[in-house]
Structure formats: C-alpha cells, structure tokens
Structure 1
Amino acid sequence: MSEGGFSFDLRKRNDMLASKGLKPPSLLKTGTTVVGLIFQDGVILGADGEGPNIVADKKCEKIHYMAPNIYCCGDKDTEAVTDMVSSQLELHRYDIGRESRVVTALTLLKSHLLSSYQGRHDVSDAALVLGGVDVTGPHLHTVYLDGSTDSTLPFATMGSGSLAAMAIFESKYRQGLTRDEGVKLVAGIFNLLGSRSNVDICVITKGKQEYLRNYLLPNPPTYDVSENFSKEAPKAAKSTNLYSLGHRMILENAIDDI
C-alpha cells in the first residue's frame, strides 16, 4: 500500500478482471447547463436537473432562492455559497426596510468567491447565473469562481453545455420576448446531450415569482401511486387508558368506534 497520495490498486484489479473477459461498465458522463434571459416583463432563469458524476441524481434543484425578487442558478459547488448570501440579504432587508437589489447580491457573491477561493478549482468550482427584478428594473449577471462578473446581459449561459446553449440564444433571442417565448427558449436546454434531464424554470417579474419545477421531463410518470392504497377508514381503533388508584396502576384496553 502506498503511504500517501492516490492509490492505484483498484486499477490493477480492473485490468485483471478485464483480461479474464469481464466487460467493465461504461463511464457515467453528465453535464450541467444553467441559463437566463431578460424578457419584456422581467427575467427567466433555467437549469437542468442532472446531478454530478459521483451522485447520479436526475432531479437536482439548481435554481436557488436568494431573495423574494432574486434567484440564482448554480453550477457545481454553489449551494452553500448561495445560502450564505441569501441569509446576509435577509439581514440587510431587516436593516434597511426595503427589498434587496440585484447589485447587492452580486457584490456579496463576488466578495465571497474572491476572498475565500481566489479561483482555486481544487477547493471549489462555481459558476452562477444571477437574475432578479428590483426598483431599477430587470438584471442578469454571470459570476465565475474567481469573483469576476459580467455586467447586465440580455441573456447568459454557464456550465458544460454553455457553448451549445449560447449558439441557440444568439440566433433565437430578440428584444421584447413574451413570457411564453422566453420560457420556450430557456426550456431548449432539455435537448443538450450532456444535460438531458428535467428542466426547472423560474420566472421573475415585478412583485411576483413563478417557480416551474420539472417543467420538462424525459419520462413523466404515467400512474398515480396513491391509487394502490385503500382510502377507506378503519371501523375501530384500539386505545389504551391508564388509571391511578393509590399505589396501584390499572391498565385498561378499550375499543373506540370512529
């Protein structure tokens, strides 16, 4: 056994099994795509539900709550970061008595990522699409691991499928998209091969948020699990009453009709 670093003992075992005719399983390759765009009434965010290579979860929630008017799509190791910023935004709202601004959330994310990780991919790997609507209008930003950001964008894509998604957004996006047109364009990430799982969508407008969980599913359920169980109530239930008579305890069983 090696004293430190990586151990490659299992590779020798796998080579031995392969030489004896055992067919190794195929590698699990998954990807992540998070996108956003600005439409005529606000911001639409979208994310696939494909989990990472280690935890094969096809229904991950990658659209994170930041504030009532701000949400954030997270790729890679982002849930702890967005939870931290969300709590700071809530304390800030209590202090100022007004709704949070998107630029405040953006500044907190930049500061935390730059001071904590400094772009080190061996510590964390984060890619964020931040969107929201405040008193100054709709805003959409991308945030990278090193804390660098883009200014307000008409549309944004991040993740392993970002290049393919960007090609579609550049050809299909136009100013003044309606809600239905924007949702349809964002839901197109369902067709990416590395991210082909369910699609979640969040529509943010002035004073209203709409979270569409599992907007698209590759194999939606065709049955109702509740139909396999009887809905009839039992006719009687057994109850236990405990009485105290001096130094003696009497346990009585009774049948109560429902």
Structure 2
Amino acid sequence: MNTGFRRVPVRCANQMMRQLLFRFNGNMQANVIIGGVDASGAHLFCTRFDGTTDPAPFTSLGSGNLSAMSILESRWSEDLSEKSACALACDAVAVGMKNDLNSGGMVSLCIVRRDFSVQWEEQFPLKDSPSRTNRLAIKPGCTTVLSTIVHQVVPWQGAPAGPKPGGGQGPVPGSGRASREEEARRRPQSVSPPGAKRWKGEGGGEGS
C-alpha cells in the first residue's frame, strides 16, 4: 500500500516488515514468513518479532513450529513438485496444530508461482497426522552409567520412623528422644547476666 500497489522485490517487502517490527522493540510479538517471486526468482524469508530475518528454503514459525519443522526436515527436497510441496506444507501445519493448543483448526494454503499468479486454498487437515519417516530405534544399554549415588531418605518431623538400613529400629531425627536431643544441642547455652565491672579510680580506690 505504501508503494502504490506496485510490484516490489521480495527482499524490499521483507525489509519494510523487519524495520516495522524493529521499531516496536519486539513488543508487536508477530512472527512473519514472507515469500514471493520477483524478477530474480523465488524467495522465502523467516522474519521474527524482534526484526531479525534469515533467508531459508523452508521454515516454520509460531507456537507449533517445532512439530511442523520435524516434518519439513524429513521430507523436503529441492526437486519437489507443486503437488508434493502443497501436501508437505499441509501435513506440517496439521502436525503443528495437533501438538499445540494455540493453533487453529484449518490449513490455509497460499501458492505463489513463477508466472506471478497467486492461488489461495483452505482445507481441513487429516484426522490422523502423518507419521515420521525415520523412526527412532534406541537399543537398551547404549547409554553408559558412569556413577551412582544412593541418598538415604530421612522422614520428616512427625512422620513414623522407618527401619534402619541395617535392619534395626533406632531413633530417627525428628521423632522421640532423638528430636529432643537434637533440639537441646541446637539451643544456645544459657549465660548468666554479666556482673558489675569493677574499676580503680584515680585515687587508687575501687569503685563499681
């Protein structure tokens, strides 16, 4: 709108957006993915709420971006067809919605082609989110235990005393005789009030 609705390079549009976000010092809290086609080709920018930006072949932002990024990283390639790219984007958004309560319930797909045509589609995601292509297989015993420390659990004051590690039953801190002995040990020793100081006067006599 500021440029009179004329076609501007994608980098120019991204620069205007990042300057606007930087001017608000991050208080706008809006993450933006800017993509488009100009005379130099197709471009995609990941612009965050503080004004920082990065060019990327694929990206995800928002509260469910971690789940969506896992799908994008496992299935993206440079030779994707338009149909495969649309399916990948929809699956990534669907996984992000399933693992995030703040996301919506519909996928809005925008297709920008090299002939400057734009197509907007809305569709509901699948009920079952796509599974990971590379499943994690962790074998038992692959993590080495370097050391082990066993801490004795002491019952809190007023709790029933449990058996000692040796099998016997003895006084436990916080109960019975042990608590009274510990309290007496921690109590400061009573000191009698100091006596009056005696001092010698100038004449050699004593006074109080």
Q: Name the SS of the counterpart of 1:187 in structure 2.
A: helix
Report the identity percentage.
Answer: 27
Is the 8 Å Cα contact of residues 110 and 143 (structure 1) preserved in structure 2? yes
Aligned twin of 2:45: 141
Match of 1:211 among 120, 135, 147: 120
RMSD: 1.8
Q: Is the alpha carbon distance of 1:174 and 1:142 closer, same or farther for their aligned partners in structure 2, counting shifts above 3 Å? A: same
- Take 1:137 and 1:218, find their aligned partners in 2: how far apart are those partners? 32
Is the 8 Å Cα contact of residues 126 and 145 (structure 1) preserved in structure 2? yes
Is the 8 Å Cα contact of residues 60 and 69 (structure 2) preserved in structure 1? yes
Aligned twin of 2:15: 107
The offset of 1:118, in angstroms, is 1.1
**Paired residue type of 1:118:** N
The offset of 1:128, in angstroms, is 0.4
Deviation readout 1:125-172 (Å, 9 max, x if unpaired): 110000000100000001111111002x11010001111111111111
Superposition map of 1:52-71 within 5 A? none
- Take 1:196 and 1:211, find their aligned partners in 2: how far apart are those partners? 17
- Take 1:92 and 1:147, find their aligned partners in 2: how far apart are those partners? 23
Is the 8 Å Cα contact of residues 102 and 133 (structure 1) preserved in structure 2? yes
Q: Does 1:88 align with 2:2?
A: yes
In structure 1, runs of 5+ residues without a counterpart are 1-86, 94-98, 220-258
- Count the aligned residue pairs: 121
Is the 8 Å Cα contact of residues 190 and 196 (structure 1) preserved in structure 2? no
Is the 8 Å Cα contact of residues 46 and 59 (structure 2) preserved in structure 1? yes
- Take 1:130 and 1:178, find their aligned partners in 2: how far apart are those partners? 21
- Take 2:22 and 2:9, find their aligned partners in 1: how far apart are those partners? 20
Match of 1:119 among 10, 26, 34: 26
The offset of 1:88, in angstroms, is 1.4
TM-score (structure 2 length as normaliser): 0.54
Aligned twin of 2:95: 191
Is the 8 Å Cα contact of residues 67 and 95 (structure 2) preserved in structure 1? no
Q: Name the SS of the counterpart of 1:191 in structure 2.
A: helix
- Take 1:142 and 1:217, find their aligned partners in 2: how far apart are those partners? 24
Aligned twin of 1:128: 32
Is the 8 Å Cα contact of residues 10 and 38 (structure 2) preserved in structure 1? yes
- Take 1:163 and 1:88, find their aligned partners in 2: how far apart are those partners? 34
The offset of 1:196, in angstroms, is 5.7
In our comparison, the structure showing a higher alpha carbon Rg is 2
The offset of 1:216, in angstroms, is 2.1
**Paired residue type of 1:88:** N
**Paired residue type of 1:210:** Q
In structure 2, runs of 5+ residues without a counterpart are 128-208
Comparing both structures, which one devotes a greater share of its residues to strand?
Answer: 1
Deviation readout 1:98-140 (Å, 9 max, x if unpaired): x21101101101111112x1123xxx21100000001000000
